[in-house]
Structure 1
């Protein structure tokens, strides 16, 4: 009954700990922005449109602006829009439109006074890379930095004013068509479900040196567009934006939901096990109370008090079935010269494997005679193992002890009483000869037999 009670107690403890762990799982989880992991793109809003406005200027963050054809920039209003398709959570394809005008003043010392270029259109197709849409501290990130790069076509007309001359239009006033490469970066801030604030900066590298109407040097023209705008996600408002979705948060929600689905079943099993264990504990307590009077042993002599006719027996005294001390007969032990000769022969013929406690078979016959002597006359025997000083102190002490124990084990296997044999190891601490010679070391490697 006692082992069963211990097992039941351990099971109860485990179930209680398990119930505490499950209690840490939230009872309800937010479904906002949740999408089952590895769902298709149709589970998200992947299309969006954006509008923006900002500043157009011929100066950019790349290169030295002092080397451009016109060195005094003018800031002008620009406007744009785009439509974007999110392919992956961090990659999208974006079609942009940009309009406005770019102008600059060369200064009074230059041949040309100023220029103004009107963008009739500038359309491009770019890759949009979101750099961070996973937040390890919050379910939804509030800011998404991004990079863009692409290729496009523009149509523009440039008007030039000379310092001491008339105004004229390049390309005879016709629209100039040219390719350009837009490169940009920015930040998007989530304002609400499906609405983002877009702050960006874009540099447009033009494929020629005609944009400002003046060809000088080997560097093509470029201009920048710093803008602010709004992006609106298209589609059902119940779906999150793929670009702002945090997949780590959805995976965590999925994991917690799976635990919640199994919690009720496991809790029912835990409650049933608790009830069964409580009943088992009550039954065992009642049984143990009834059996206590039959198992109590006040004097520790192995006989329960209920049957002990001699209570308060001193510790270590052997008793009979009624708990009363047994008579002690001390036998007279006489060790004869013949007995000592048997022991001396055993010592003389004793051999071990080198550096080990394994007894060689040559030693067995004389050891068998010692075992017979111990059995027949009930002698006691002390075995003392010794070594030379070769090797470490600890190794020699262990080897001497192991060899004495090995002899004891063999004698016991031949019928000797183990309680009457003492095996001790002294290592190299008690030499009987000098360890400086091979003969002396051999003499020190020994096991002494003391018969009494």
Structure 2
């Protein structure tokens, strides 16, 4: 593995000087570029990259894992990227390497921690992830072709690794006998990219990987999950025709500036041609806006001039018929209505200790919903419990049960603004809580229609 890393470093050191020279012979940008990109028609949208760098079992945001000192080790990776927009892309990453740590860092009192394991070394066999990458600062007002940009990424994937741990005073051993662990990871990263030419970019980045478990260092100490970081340098190679620029370096304002320069003279000629018509348009507009009787309809379209002030008019400026003042219809709540509500109360049941309504109560609640909709009535729901259990939980349960009834009635077409749901907990009993029958009576939801 170390030989592979050395070969990779030699490759990077060899290619970088060539890339710097190649930058002086950039192909001319595509003349058909547009303000917000052009997809595969005008730009190169696919690229691949390789990188190498250092790893550590700790991150800048979230700290380290279960060992007091994170040791620096090495890592390597590769990726394929699809640039969907000039500021957003999807990137599939592969990464491998090693992670190390020990308990050599002292505590605040100057003593070393007394823990069961003294060190660990984890072989990170692979990570595979898919991330969304957001480009920043690709807009450059000083240069039409930016040379640097910031980016941030977030995604998800899997990691496969095998930890080896050393007990305090013992010898190194496998953390798990099968030696293979696969877990979910969430990579969150940031970096800066330099455009060497229209074919190659220098990529400097830092990624924090958060695992969905506590196995990375082979030691479960504390409630937090493990994480590790990867700081790297690498090269990115654009795929496609060299005559097309990379979409990720597309500078929208620069393209817009060129377009505006080309349109400026044409716009000036059009404005001069329209100048002669402006006075005539202003006169026509004044005539259209003239409204002698103030009814809101221009004299040009007013079929009924001199409309009395205050009258509402139609589109032709004629007075609308004045509506009769109608008395509001009084809704009467009958004894049958009250019996229907009482029947719903008597049949209302909930799951024990929960706010779920029993299906056997649906029929009577449907009748209440129909009554509220038909007569446009309002309803107050008051939830109550017995004194069994915690007072705070009883208060919450009574409120939840009243809200459950309200939600059911609203689902049947009742206006939610006409239903008030309140919970009183165990504070308003109607029977003694010393008997089972009394407690049963106190567990209720009261209905009040008005």
TM normalised by structure 1 equals: 0.49
Larger Cα-atom Rg: 1
